[in-house]
Amino acid sequence: MSRETGCKVQTIRYYEQIGLLPEPERSSGNQRLYSNRDRDRLAFIRHARELGFPLDAIRELLKLADHPSQPCEAADAIAAAQLEAVEIRIARLQSLKQELERMLAHRHGGKIADCRVIEVLADHSKCSADDHVAPS
């Protein structure tokens, strides 16, 4: 399945360990046997991860996907929460970008003793904003 999906073997095993993927059946030689449903589930997980969904949200989405006749509100709420998290990260990244641009706008060469980048990094009060925490 690793070759077919481009997903590392360790990642597939991890998803099995944490219950996102079911334990596969085994051959008489003890090799894992994956079904098309397993491949589809892995594709779902990988796509959700690419969109930044945390594993707990993916677990909930998979539960919902396993019951297709349920209303979609819960899935919509999970996606809306992810969108909000992305918007917060974007705002933080924009703040970081602005601060880096501001630091570099005052560069004038010379020695480290006169370096604006070093000066600002050493003293947070010289930043234009307090809200630029590196995104997690």
Residues 67-99 pLDDT 10s: 999 999 999 999 999 999 999 999 999 998 988
Q: Dihedral angle at the C-alpha atoms of 14, 39, 54, 57, nearest 10 degrees?
A: -120
The share of the chain scoring above pLDDT 70, in percent, equals 94
Contacts of 133 (CB under 8 A, 6+ apart): 92
b/e map of 103-114 (b: 16 or more CB within 10 Å)? Answer: beeeeeeeeeee
Tell how strand 25-26 and strand 32-33 pair up: antiparallel
Average pLDDT over the chain, rounded to whole? 89
- pLDDT at residue 13, as a whole number: 96
Q: Which of the four CATH numbers 3.10.20.30, 3.40.50.880, 1.10.3720.10, 1.10.1660.10 does domain 1-53 have?
A: 1.10.1660.10
- pLDDT at residue 133, as a whole number: 58
Q: Quote the pTM value.
A: 0.76
49 burial (CB, 10 Å; 0-12 / 13-18 / 19+) is middle
The mean per-residue pLDDT over the stretch 29-35 comes to 92
Task: Using the predicted structure, report yes or no on whether residue 49 has a pLDDT greater than 70.
Answer: yes
Sequence spans of domains, the chain? 1-53
